[in-house]
Structure 1
Amino acid sequence: MKYNNPVIKGFYPDPSVCKVENTYYLVCSSFQYFPGVPIFESKDLINWKQIGHCLTRRSQIELEKINSSGGIFAPTIRFNNGRFYMTTTNNSTQENFYVWTDDIYGEWSEPIYVKQGGIDPSLYFEDDKAYFMSSGTDDNGVDGIVQCEIDIQTGRKLTPSLVIWTGSGGRFLEGPHMYKINGMYYLVAAEGGTEFGHMVTYARGNSPYATFEEYSHNPVLTNRNLGGHEIQGVGHGDLVQDNMGNWWILHLGFRQSGQWQAYHHLGREVFLTPVTFYEDGWFKAGENGTTIKCFETDKIPNSVVQNEKKCYTFENTKWDREGCYLRIPHGENYKIKENSISLKGTNITLDEADSPTFIGLRQKDFNMYISCDVSISDGEAGITLYMDENHHYDLALCKYDNKYEVIVKLNVGEIKHVKKSVCLENDNKVSLIIHADNNCYNFCIKTEDKEVNLGRAQTKYLSSEVAGGFTGVIIGLYACGLSGYNYAEFTNFKCDYF
């Protein structure tokens, strides 16, 4: 069959996967967004459904006023003796921890902290031992992939933290995962930085503390030399074996906005690439070591059909699962109903590293059409295309000094610019519309069944190459500056991808 990449679209970076019986479970980074660490499940590796989050309580996750692209980095999910474990880093507090659950659809435990530094922690289980590894500095001051054994009940270190591999020579060695395959131990990692030079590398040895031998053809997977190709930044992968004995790697990558437009604003996404083992036990990945947009493979039955949701509305979207908030939300400011959302604004704006009244969905494709009716009695409410507090485009209905107007605000770094302002005739409700393609967002309002264009802005100014950071554009509904008990009302939301 043929399948298309990415298999999970939008800002879902640093995927990690495990298989339990006939089901695959996958987690991703969430950074400053809440709830933390989205969880997906799949029966076929192609079609993924979000089933929840690992970090759903304030007690599990410290996000108060952290900088954008801080917070929760690169999780790993593993299953051992009937229990799921998710280990991750809160980069803002410089702490590695894990949580566990016996019910993947339920709540996860309080954090268990491990006194080993670095980032991107991972667990490997064997013979009642739990090995904890991360990318950082060991107890002797050596940099590399660091490992210790821990008491899985308490997180207490049982052995010193020691470097087990220093990588293949690329910068920013990170994202380690260990596997035992046919009696050998494989250590897969990422190098090159999570930009255009990203890559997957690996080594193998005969024990968890072996002198690991590097694969002679590293990197095993990278698109770093494919100039002009849409898929870039390939790296940070996790291996998984299907029920037919085939091996795969789920990894991140990003789509640049044009053949010669080296910008990406959708964030790092989840890609699936086939893996093939040689007779000598080494393995290769992808098409000549690269990831492509469409793979044709006999490893997945032709009966499997890749389905993709193309339309998101209030009615067909589980906002408590698919939606996200900035840092820890103030629950009293949100009323989420079956066919509407009501938001009460505060004096916290989108321009602050704080918790404005905001609920969003990740942008999943370049070409889209968004429409939503917004009504207010005071303040400001609308749709934001949000990369971070310094890079976002806002289309909003405002009421100040008893006058209603629609504004288009462009926020790029230190430049805060109202591109367009249109006064309304005492109308407290308006239809806001955004058209998007690879290169531009176009902002409109609908009056008397006609769309009135209010201007456009380039997508590249919301890209990681301009804004920095590790996230992607979120389509946010927001409110600010409302007084008293007044809520902004959002109805008839629709986001179509084409």
Structure 2
Amino acid sequence: MLTVNNPILNGFYPDPSICAVGKDFYLVTSTFAYFPGIPVFHSRDLKNWKQIGHVLDRTSQLPLAGCGHSQGIYAPTIRYYDGTFYVITTNVSGGGNFYVTAEDPAGPWSDPVWLGDDAPGIDPSLFFDEDGACYYVGTRPNPDGVRYNGDWEIWVQRLDLEQGCLTGESVKIWKGAMNGVIWPEGPHLYRKDGYYYLMIAEGGTGPDHSVTVARSREIFGPYEGNPDNPILTHRHLGKNYPVTYVGHGDLAEDAAGNWYMVMLASRPQQGYTMMGRETFLARVVWEDGWPVVNPGIGKLEEQVTIPLEESRFEPADTVFHFWRDRLPMEFVTLRNSAEEMCSLAERQGWLRLRLRRETLRDAADPSYVGVRQRHFCWQAAALLDFTAQQEEEAAGLALVQSDRYNLRFEKVRNERGTACIHIRRCEDGVDQKIAAAEVPDGVCVLRIVCRGLEADLYFEQNGVKHCMAQGVDLRPLSTEIAGGFTGCTVGMYASAEGADSSSFADFGWFSYEGL
């Protein structure tokens, strides 16, 4: 037996979908406005996970220009059938629902097959029946007219993979378990013991989130709800329970016939969520023809015991150097590929960020390369070689929740041409300088040390560390204040702040580690 710690993916990894192929498990999550889109993780024990690639790693697959921070890619589903992997998802910022395929889940993945206006709504999933027929299942607004916010329904239709289009009749199959249900979404179909099982999320991805299930002898219904619905929720545990927003699950069966569920949940600190929605694991057993989650407990556990043997990977890097010709898989950018804003070749061993007009406060593609915040307490640092040529130019570290909520720790020059450190926080779109100090010019290390909801910021040069600010309040970057569907990322950035510039900032290394 193996003990698994929850969450299994720390940080902003929401809307998980999983599939099992032999003894291997593959998992994908939403990415919204971040590029590359949809990370792919591999595990053999559900405890140790290694990222092996991204599904959407080409701009031709992922048009994100101008999309909002919580728009872009929603709720992917990964499935495997007859030697091919499929991922289906929604780009809510343009194009709608589409799927891509690959023979190897590490990639390369195909260009999108767009399903167009025939596939309204979001959160698509695929189901392959025993005869090989493929079905699309999704959620859409009530076609008879939306009567209230969240008045949606689950529907299914045959998908012709050879033609790349839906075919036959579109059938509403379920509205959800609760009376007056809102946001029935994240649907998945499974077949077991002569039944088709439909599992969905409902209640909205907040405190009332839940997982419910229905079944039918026929794929097009009628579906009967589980009398014990919801099969998983934390909405009854109170606002101060350490794990909240539980829902949006997917099921997988291992090679020995054991069942598991992955789902999203959040871990607030004192009522504030910094890491967004993370991926958790639960055991599932079947009783009287229905799935039971964590039997005898009925909620998510901090530790889950499962009947698998441990299979470890090499520990993840905490210090990233830039000697290779590609950025490490952990790094993401906003709305565009890194090639548009940076170079790993112009200065060997350094990451060069170009100072573009775009800023982190724009719904655009600023020069920003970051990683997800994955711990309550953490530190991030970077070696920076940058001298501002104009007063507007800036480069440094940033903690980003969205273009309206972020914290920037930047090196600039003042009106006298002297090098300075500025600490700026953007809150609800209003940018404010909260600390400033003149510093010696030259190569330096910038460091952010976060403990819960506060951060200390340090400037280091020639082995001497200077504290630039202590106890900086990070609560404005929480989900509860900033809103949206993403958690925080932290990384390197550079900007000419709306001006034209040929300048650049060089980073010799970047580090992120939990404390």
Scaled by the length of structure 2, the TM-score of the pair is 0.90
Distance 2:233 2:344 in 1: 42
**Kept after mapping to 2: 8 A contact 1:46/1:306:** no
Whichever residue aligns with residue 14 of structure 2, its letter is P
Does 1:319 pair with 2:330? no
Give a deviation string over 1:340-397, Cα, whole Å, max 9, x none: 3211111111110000111110010111122222121222101100000010001011
- Which residue of the other structure, out of 350, 357, 362, is the alignment partner of 1:352? 362
Distance 2:439 2:317 in 1: 33
Distance 1:140 1:305 in 2: 51
Measured at CA, do residues 304 and 107 of structure 1 come closer, stay the same or move farther in structure 2, by a change above 3 Å?
A: closer
Unaligned runs of 5+ in 2: 147-151
**Hey, what does 2:264 align to over in structure 1?**
252
**Hey, what does 1:438 align to over in structure 2?**
452
Distance 1:38 1:222 in 2: 26
Distance 1:316 1:466 in 2: 39
**Hey, what does 2:289 align to over in structure 1?**
281
Does 1:186 pair with 2:186? no
Q: What's the % identity of the aligned pairs?
A: 34
**Kept after mapping to 2: 8 A contact 1:11/1:363:** yes
Measured at CA, do residues 339 and 222 of structure 1 come closer, stay the same or move farther in structure 2, by a change above 3 Å?
A: farther
Whichever residue aligns with residue 363 of structure 2, its letter is A
Whichever residue aligns with residue 193 of structure 1, its letter is G
Does 1:268 pair with 2:269? no
Distance 1:333 1:113 in 2: 28
Q: Offset of 1:430 from its aligned partner?
A: 2.2
- Which residue of the other structure, out of 465, 485, 499, is the alignment partner of 1:450? 465
**Kept after mapping to 2: 8 A contact 1:231/1:293:** no
Distance 2:513 2:338 in 1: 29
**Hey, what does 1:161 align to over in structure 2?**
170
Aligned pairs, how many?
491
Unaligned runs of 5+ in 1: none
Give a deviation string over 1:387-426, Cα, whole Å, max 9, x none: 000100010111355221001001111331111111123x
Give a deviation string over 1:297-344, Cα, whole Å, max 9, x none: 25234x556986473433799734211110013625312378532111
**Kept after mapping to 2: 8 A contact 1:139/1:160:** no
Structure 1 stretch displaced more, 313-322 or 237-246: 313-322
Distance 1:70 1:414 in 2: 17
Distance 1:484 1:282 in 2: 62
Does 1:334 pair with 2:348? no
**Kept after mapping to 2: 8 A contact 1:137/1:163:** no
Measured at CA, do residues 56 and 492 of structure 1 come closer, stay the same or move farther in structure 2, by a change above 3 Å?
A: closer
Distance 1:316 1:41 in 2: 25
Distance 1:459 1:101 in 2: 41
Whichever residue aligns with residue 321 of structure 2, its letter is F
Structure 1 stretch displaced more, 323-332 or 69-78: 323-332
Measured at CA, do residues 307 and 183 of structure 1 come closer, stay the same or move farther in structure 2, by a change above 3 Å?
A: farther
Give a deviation string over 1:467-491, Cα, whole Å, max 9, x none: 1110110112100118654321112
Q: Secondary structure at the match of 2:485?
A: coil
Structure 1 stretch displaced more, 480-489 or 462-471: 480-489
Distance 2:300 2:140 in 1: 28
Measured at CA, do residues 310 and 457 of structure 1 come closer, stay the same or move farther in structure 2, by a change above 3 Å?
A: farther
Structure 1 stretch displaced more, 363-372 or 386-395: 363-372
Distance 1:21 1:418 in 2: 54
Q: Offset of 1:217 from its aligned partner?
A: 1.1
**Hey, what does 1:293 align to over in structure 2?**
302
Segments ≥4 residues shifted beyond 3 Å? 137-143, 303-310, 315-320, 336-340, 482-486
**Kept after mapping to 2: 8 A contact 1:198/1:233:** yes
Q: Secondary structure at the match of 1:60?
A: coil
Scaled by the length of structure 1, the TM-score of the pair is 0.93
